């Protein structure tokens, strides 16, 4: 199946793109997609424990099973005031 991955802030900078298309096996999770990206862009790996993730604009955990055409977003922690 094919999904769209959206990356924000520092994650976007590391990958060099704000949106990527990825193929995933049936039953894949958000975490599977993250690990695929971290293998391709090793600079992403340190962010795994601090990022938030969402599927189709709803926050979701890394063990959430994704479906065909889903949009997965990864968001780094935000600071400021």
Residue by residue, pLDDT tens for the chain (81 residues) are 999 999 999 999 999 999 999 999 999 999 999 999 999 999 999 999 999 999 999 999 999 999 999 999 999 887 555
What's the predicted TM-score (pTM) here?
A: 0.92
Short-list 23, 18, 30, 36, CA closest to 63: 30
Bridge partners, 7 (sequence order)? 74
C-beta separation of 64 from 30 below 8 A: yes
């Amino acid at each position: 199946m094919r999904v769209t991955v959206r990356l924000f802030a520092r994650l976007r900078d590391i990958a060099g793109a704000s949106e990527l298309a990825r193929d995933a096996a049936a039953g894949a999770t958000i975490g599977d997609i993250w690990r695929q990206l971290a293998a391709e862009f090793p600079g992403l790996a340190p962010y795994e424990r601090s990022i938030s993730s969402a599927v189709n604009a709803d926050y979701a955990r890394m063990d959430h099973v994704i479906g065909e055409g889903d949009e997965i977003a990864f968001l780094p922690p935000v600071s400021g005031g």
